[in-house]
Amino acid sequence: MFYNTVHVEFRKQLERLLDIGQLAPTTVIADISVLNDEGRDCYPDTLRLLQGLKKYSETKSPGEFSVQLRTGFIRLLPEYFDLPKITKYELVVAYKLGPNEKIWSVDGPSAKEHIKELTNVLAQLVNLQWFSWDSHTGKYYNDRRTRFKLSEGRQELEKLQTTFTNMRHLKTLICKNHFFDPSFFVVPPPTVKVLELGGLLSFSWWRKFAACPLTSVELLEIRKPESRHEIEDPIGDRDEFKPINELVLGDVAVTGLRDFNAKQHDYWSRRGNGYCPIDLNECILRRNKKIGPNTFKAIATSRAIDFIYQWERSFVRKIKACSLVLRDIYTRKFNKRDIDESLPAFKKICAKIIIEGPKIGSLETWEVGIKHAWKFAIDCQDTIHYRLAWYMETIQKDQNSANRDELDDEMVSRECLQMLVRNPEFGNSGTLGTGREPSETIQHCGRMWEAVHRCVGMARHEYTRRFANYEPPNEKKFMRTCLKMLSRWPNLKDARKWEAKTRAGGLVFGHTNTLIQDVQLSRSALINEYTEKFFKGEEVEMESVTNQWVRRLAEAFNYLLPRIALQDSTIVLLVARRLY
């Protein structure tokens, strides 16, 4: 219903031909998103054409004329369409409309009235063969102020179910989201061959689905929600909206499927709560023997993708945790000038850490330690920047008032650092007179900027190790360590420590990325391998993939290889299980 001159003239011609009997369509396809009240004045020619088509339709039998319709509204449908002639209807219920745009005849969030209106319209679609419902993630009814409760509209929903049951010609039913309530399961009429279901659905909905025999359904598709918001932040009874992939159905009643598609193992959609019961595929395949091998293969591939992505995410996280330990190890090695920088040597140490754990703490405490150390470092650096900037402005004011010659930046830097170390609390509050950020004030003093940056960085490195070794976090102690380093800066020992830390950081970063890339490059091969395993019905464990990679890391430097080869497989699994 786009308004321009060409469309207006075209619609007028259609209307004229229809009136004089020179246009005799057998099928009309209409797509009308929203029909608002203003449309009656803005598009009178369009409405006249619709009314003309309705009059024409009323003179024909269902075998002579049909309508395929897509709308974003229910109201006014009986006014402009001959409902018994509609054979295909897609209803898209938007939840965000303009001020003059309405879906229902009754304004406001009266779900009962909306169910009644939908039921009344569907009851008149006596020749409907294809129906699709999309409520745009159901937010229209899930608003916290207007939340619809199943108990309040049970009778209305029962009548809606009766209307569906009485549809004698419906062959395809698509429910992209739930009808009004995420616990209301629509039992399809016995004529339906193709059924598509999806959206944010509760535990009770899935249990009703599992108990329904879906007598004539041959093709079943479970659609993933279009919005991740649905999965991660459901509105309603929290017990009913636990992560769906924690639900175990146990069995399903449907037995006549010839094809089945459920992309429940789409990795990106399952980063949240998931949207299918964890055993849905297994239950469907076990009970439906007519499903072909291609469907089995597709499901096996889907499971393999999910399996490998979950393993990859876990293993990459472990490698990144190892990199924290490795950065500390290599810093100490660089300090001693005794270092093998090769990738095989790096893999050797990494494999040892993964299997045996770090000498200090655990990988988990290293992850927690770096978070505390980074927070302290940021807060400490901001505080030091402010205090130094305050001292610099104080010195500058004294210089200006005494009409002294301009001071050298390096001299100012040394004096400010000495003042800060002697009296660290002074200048800790208030605002800078210049209105500039503290970092802007001291940034042009290269010596001071470098000293703060390096000392805070070395303190962060040292305290990551301390926190990993179960030392309680103490921000004041962290600050004292930074000031102590500043008090002796620069000196040869600290300069060498900084150089070792920098070199170690670069080496570990590069080798860690190489390992992660190796893991990612093996993804396709692993997916293919485990697709075959799932297709054959083999039982697999995540430890089996981990064990492959432990071997690969070990073989890079022949580390632990004899130990793994000589002892039986249970030792290998025990070693691998320590990773999780």
pLDDT by residue (tens digit) across 13-35?
777 767 767 677 888 888 887 66
Asked if residue 366 and residue 267 are part of one domain, the reply reads no
Asked if residue 331 and residue 274 are part of one domain, the reply reads no
Task: Establish if 558 belongs to a structural domain.
Answer: no
Q: Which amino acid is at 265?
A: H
Task: Establish if 540 belongs to a structural domain.
Answer: no
Distance CA 562, CA 555 (A): 10
Task: Classify residue 75 as exposed, middle or buried by CB count within 10 Å of its CB (0-12, 13-18, 19+).
Answer: middle
DSSP 32: E
Distance CA 556, CA 559 (A): 7
Distance CA 409, CA 407 (A): 6
Asked if residue 408 and residue 286 are part of one domain, the reply reads no
Q: Is the pLDDT of residue 162 over 80?
A: yes
Distance CA 225, CA 207 (A): 19
Run of H or E including 221: strand 219-223
Task: Establish if 353 belongs to a structural domain.
Answer: no
Sheet hosting strand 259-262, strand order edge to edge: 27-32, 66-71, 86-92, 130-134, 172-175, 194-198, 219-223, 259-262
**Which of 549 and 446 is assigned the larger pLDDT?**
549
Distance CA 381, CA 403 (A): 32
Asked if residue 180 and residue 303 are part of one domain, the reply reads yes
The pLDDT tens digits for 221-242 are 988 765 544 444 444 455 555 6
Task: Establish if 573 belongs to a structural domain.
Answer: no
Task: Establish if 61 belongs to a structural domain.
Answer: yes
pLDDT at 399 (0 to 100): 64
The pLDDT tens digits for 130-161 are 999 987 644 444 443 344 455 567 888 999 99
Asked if residue 222 and residue 91 are part of one domain, the reply reads yes
pLDDT at 85 (0 to 100): 94
Query: Distance of CA 143 to CAs 31, 33, 122, 184, 251, Å?
Result: 28, 22, 25, 17, 34
Asked if residue 363 and residue 224 are part of one domain, the reply reads no
> What are the residue ranges of helices labelled H in 336-362?
343-356
Task: Establish if 141 belongs to a structural domain.
Answer: yes
Per-position DSSP letters for 300-343, written without gaps between them: HHHHHHHHHHHHHHHHHHHHHHHHHHHHHHHHHHHHTT-----H
Query: Distance of CA 388 to CAs 429, 451, 567, Å?
Result: 12, 12, 62
pLDDT at 165 (0 to 100): 95
Which of 472, 505, 538 terminates a domain? The answer is: 505
pLDDT at 382 (0 to 100): 82
Asked if residue 410 and residue 284 are part of one domain, the reply reads no
- With CA atoms as reference, report the closest residue to 177 among 93, 234, 104, 55: 93
Domain with 379, as residue range(s), is 327-335+359-505
* Number of other CB atoms surrounding residue 336 within 10 Å: 8
Which of 488, 505, 522 terminates a domain? The answer is: 505
Give residue for tokens 């269902």. 62
Give residue for tokens 């995540």. 542
- The phi and psi torsions of 223 (rounded to 5 degrees) equal -90, 140
Q: Is the pLDDT of residue 56 over 80?
A: yes
Task: Establish if 438 belongs to a structural domain.
Answer: yes
Distance CA 342, CA 151 (A): 68
Query: Is the sign of the CA dihedral 302, 304, 310, 312 positive or negative?
Result: negative
Asked if residue 193 and residue 269 are part of one domain, the reply reads yes
Which of 479, 505, 531 terminates a domain? The answer is: 505
Per-position DSSP letters for 434-490, written without gaps between them: T---HHHHHHT-HHHHHHHHHHHHHHHHHHHHHHHTTPPP-HHHHHHHHHHHHHT-S
The number of distinct structural domains making up the chain is: 2
Q: Mean of the per-residue pLDDT values for the chain?
A: 76
Of 55-69, 101-115, 365-379, the least confident? 101-115
Asked if residue 496 and residue 439 are part of one domain, the reply reads yes
Give residue for tokens 């009644």. 116
Helices then strands, each counted (H, E), the chain = 22, 8
Asked if residue 375 and residue 298 are part of one domain, the reply reads no
Token pair for residue 38? 């203003």
Task: Establish if 529 belongs to a structural domain.
Answer: no
Q: Is 536 left (phi over 0), alpha (psi -120 to 50) or beta?
A: alpha
Q: Tell me the angle at which helices 475-487 and 446-468 cross, rounded to the nearest 10 degrees.
A: 140
Asked if residue 232 and residue 129 are part of one domain, the reply reads yes
> What are the residue ranges of helices labelled H in 71-153?
77-80, 111-124, 139-142
Asked if residue 229 and residue 286 are part of one domain, the reply reads yes
Q: How confident is the model at residue 208 (pLDDT cuts 50, 70, 90)?
A: very high
Token pair for residue 291? 């499903």
Distance CA 489, CA 487 (A): 6
Q: Whole-structure pTM over 0.75, yes or no?
A: no
- The phi and psi torsions of 31 (rounded to 5 degrees) equal -130, 105
Q: Is the pLDDT of residue 121 over 90?
A: yes
